[in-house]
A and B are shown apart, each in its own frame.
Chain A
Amino acid sequence: MMQAGTVQAVQDMSDTAYAVSSVVKVVLTFTVVMVVVALLTLLERKISAWMQDRMGPNRVGPGGIGQPLADGLKNILKEETHPGEAAGVFFTLAPMLSIIPALVTFAVIPFAAPMPTRWGVMPMVVADLPVGILFLLAFSSLGVYGIVMAGWASSNKYALLGGLRAGAQMISYEIALGLSLMSLFFVVGNVGLPQVVWTQQRMGTWFFFTFAVSFAFFWISSFAETNRLPFDLPEAESELVTGYHTEYSSMKFSMFFIAEYAHVLTVSALLATLFLGGWDIPFLQRDDMLGFVDGRWVGNVPALWITLVTFLSFAIKTFVFIVIFMLVRWTVPRFRYDQVMDLGWKIMLPASLAAVVVTAATVLALDSAGVTFEQRALGFVPVYGGVLGVVNVAMLAVVVWAMDRGRTLSATGSLDERRARAKQTARLRAIELQTAERGES
Chain B
Amino acid sequence: MLRPYVPLLVLLALSVVNAIFMVVLSTVLSPGGATKVKSAPYESGMTPLGNPRERFSVKFYVVAILFIVFDVETIFLLPWAVSARRLGWAGFAAAGIFIFILTVGLIYEWKKGALEWD
Contacts and interface: CB of A to CB of B under 8 A. Distances in A.
Interface of A: 18-19, 22-23, 25-27, 29-30, 75-85, 92, 95-96, 99-100, 103-104, 107-108, 126-130, 134-135, 152, 154-158, 160-161, 164, 167-168, 171-172, 174-175, 178-179, 182-183, 185-191, 241, 246-247, 250-252, 254-255, 337-338, 341-342, 345-346, 349-350, 353, 356-357, 360-361, 363-364, 367-368
28 contacts: A29-B11, A30-B15, A75-B26, A77-B29, A80-B30, A96-B23, A100-B15, A107-B11, A129-B8, A152-B53, A156-B41, A172-B67, A175-B70, A185-B78, A185-B82, A251-B23, A338-B118, A345-B66, A349-B70, A349-B106, A350-B103, A353-B99, A360-B95, A361-B92, A364-B84, A364-B88, A364-B89, A367-B85
B41 A100 contact: no
Interface in B61-76: 63-64, 66-67, 70-71, 74
A182 B23 contact: no
Contacts of A187: 85
Given A77-B31, A361-B92, 16 more contacts: A18-B3, A26-B7, A27-B14, A83-B39, A103-B18, A127-B8, A160-B52, A160-B54, A175-B67, A185-B78, A186-B84, A246-B42, A247-B42, A251-B26, A353-B103, A356-B99
Given A155-B52, A251-B26, A353-B103, A341 B60 contact: no
Interface of B: 3-8, 10-12, 14-16, 18-20, 22-23, 25-27, 29-32, 34, 36, 38-44, 48, 52-54, 56, 59-60, 63-64, 66-67, 70-71, 74, 77-78, 81-86, 88-89, 92, 95-96, 99, 102-103, 106, 110, 115-118
Nearest to A167: B60
Contacts of A82: 34, 39
A338 B20 CA distance: 38
Contact of B26 (A18, A76, A99, A342): A76
B25 A174 contact: no
Contacts of A127: 4-5, 7-8, 11
Contact of B27 (A80, A100, A350): A80
Contacts of B27: 80
Given A30-B14, A127-B11, A345-B115, A191 B67 contact: no
Contact of B8 (A126, A171, A191, A255): A126
A104 B8 contact: yes
A252 B54 CA distance: 25
A100 B19 contact: yes
Given A96-B20, A164-B56, A182-B77, A23 B10 contact: yes
Nearest to A15: B3
A156 B42 contact: yes
Contact of B4 (A129, A157, A164, A337): A129
Given A95-B23, A156-B41, A164-B60, A175 B71 contact: yes
Contacts of A157: 41, 43, 48, 52, 54
A364 B89 CA distance: 7
Nearest to A259: B19
Contacts of B70: 175, 349
Given A156-B43, A157-B43, A356-B99, A26 B14 contact: yes
A103 B115 contact: no
A350 to B, nearest CB: 7
Q: Which of B18, B44, B54, B74 has the most CB of A within 10 A?
A: B74
A26 B7 CA distance: 7
Contacts of A78: 26, 30
Contact of B53 (A79, A96, A160, A190): A160
Contact of B85 (A81, A160, A363): A363
A87 to B, nearest CB: 10
